Amino acid sequence: MKIALICFTENGFQMEKRLVKLLEAEGHGPCPWVSGRYAMQAASLDHEISFSPVKEGGLSAWAGERFGDSDGLIFIGACGIAVRAIAPYIRDKKTDPAVLAADEKGRFVIPLLSGHLGGANELAERLAAGLAKSGIPAQAVLTTATDVNRRFAVDVFAKEHGLVLDQMKLAKEISAAVLAGEPVGLFSDFPFSGPVPEGLYKDRICPQNIRITVWRKDRRGPEGPGPLRLVPRCVVLGTGCKRGTSMEQIWSVAEEAMEREGLDPSAVCGLASIDLKSGEPGLCSLAEKLGVPFFTYTGEELAAVPGAFTESEFVRQVTGVGSVCERAAVAACREASEDTRLLMKKYARDGVTVAAACFIPELFKGSER
């Protein structure tokens, strides 16, 4: 995580240095800042760590900029300072960065915003533990109900296992049900080998339900309220196109194909094709737009992929292999797991071909329990 820190006093500066070192040890990228005369004086005399001063626009402008370029913000000072600074920029718990406050003695580390999805709660606990090891009796101050009661939190579960969660209202209702001791049904389209969290009941329809699936809600699910869909990012789109086809055209065909099959686009974790298309601008731009890797394979590598595929003699004459998009999708998935599935056979329109395969996410590897 890229984490911006800010302090306001000389003591705060000394604590900020400690936190910077802890964050670096945890593998984060800390970006330390100072504000106020005494903090700046202390920073100017210290050459161990490079600090940046807050200048134009003051603290509020600084907070607004950090909301846009950082994964987390840590204020070494009063909670009220932090709250007033970030208030104009709070938008959505799915996108807001983690925000924490720590007192200048390091006794308390307090998550203020994005405790679960943003990781503020976990970060607070790790920083408090790190300070405690160095002799400071630090304590993480958690106030979220699921953490206080040590109960299952669906947004934490989704974050830990890379599952896409976009129904926040329903997620809150499920957390409330778990806290109230009400049963919640758990369904998965993949073999589930991990332990079922307390309060969840596998393959049992309850007043509230969760389904782990790459399909849209109208495709599958228990016949009951909801369910809350958690979407694993385990689908690779195999692609092919005529030279010069635009990114917009390729994505239009891909969306149409997924809509026809009922596949959720948020499950896509990669694109794949033959190496002849490795520099195709439309495909490269689409991978960049989706924020996913673009895998390419030689004709020989594709021909070696096991399975039954839709073959084309024309494609064979051009590329040396009878199927590109289906074989490429499966080939990319096999890099993550040999247990793969071809979910969507070749769909073609306007010179674009698309297929989809998935691998079994690690959370669900193993036999049914």
Q: Work out the average pLDDT over 278-299.
A: 96
User: Which amino acid is located at 156 in the chain?
Assistant: V
Task: Return all residues near 235 (Cβ < 8 A) that are at least 6 apart.
Answer: 214, 263, 267, 268, 269, 343, 356, 357, 358
**pLDDT per residue over 9-31, tens digit each?**
999 999 999 999 999 999 999 99
> Which structure tokens are listed for 179?
């806290």
pLDDT at 266 over 70: yes
Mean pLDDT for 45-67 is 87
Q: Which token pair is 93?
A: 């718990």
Q: Is 163 helix (H, G, I), strand (E, B) or coil?
A: strand
Residue 287's pLDDT is 97
Q: Which of 48, 51, 60 is nearest to 4 (CA)?
A: 51
CA within 13 Å, CB half, 302? 28
Task: Name the phi and psi angles at 81, rounded to 5.
Answer: -60, -45
pLDDT of 136 > 60? The answer is: yes
Query: Percentage of residues in the chain with pLDDT exceeding 90?
Result: 69
Asked whether residue 55 carries a pLDDT value surpassing 70, the answer given is: yes
What is the identity of the amino acid at 316?
R
Q: Which residues contact 182 (CB under 8 A, 6 or more apart)?
A: 206, 207, 208
pLDDT at 368: 41
If one compares 103 and 221, the residue with the highest pLDDT of the two is 103
**Residues whose CB is less than 8 angstroms from the CB of residue 320 and which lie 6 or more positions away in sequence, other chains included:** 299, 300, 303
Average pLDDT over residues 210-239: 81
Most confidently modeled of 120-129, 152-161, 182-191? 120-129
For range 41-68, the mean pLDDT:
88
pTM of the model: 0.76
pLDDT of residue 5: 97
Average pLDDT over residues 142-158: 85
- Whether 366 has a pLDDT exceeding 50, the answer reads no
Cβ atoms of 90 and 105 within 8 Å: the answer is no
CA distances in angstroms from 337 to 56, 306, 309, 362, listed in the order given? 51, 14, 19, 9
pLDDT class of 228 with cuts at 50, 70, 90: very high
The DSSP annotation for 317-351 comes to: HHHSSS-SHHHHHHHHHHTT-S-EEEEEEEEEETT
What's the average model confidence in pLDDT over 139-152?
A: 86
Question: Which domains are delineated in the chain?
Answer: 2-143 (3.40.50.11220), 154-232 (3.40.1390.40), 235-361 (3.30.420.180)
Check pLDDT > 70 for residue 367: no
Give the pLDDT band (50/70/90) at residue 151.
Answer: confident
Taking only the tens place, the pLDDT of each residue in 294-314 is 999 999 999 999 998 988 777
Q: What is the pLDDT of residues 267-281, one digit of tens each?
A: 999 999 999 999 999
The CA angle 221-222-226, to the nearest 5 degrees, is 80
For residue range 313-356, what is the model confidence (pLDDT) as tens digits? 777 777 678 789 999 999 999 999 889 999 999 999 999 999 99
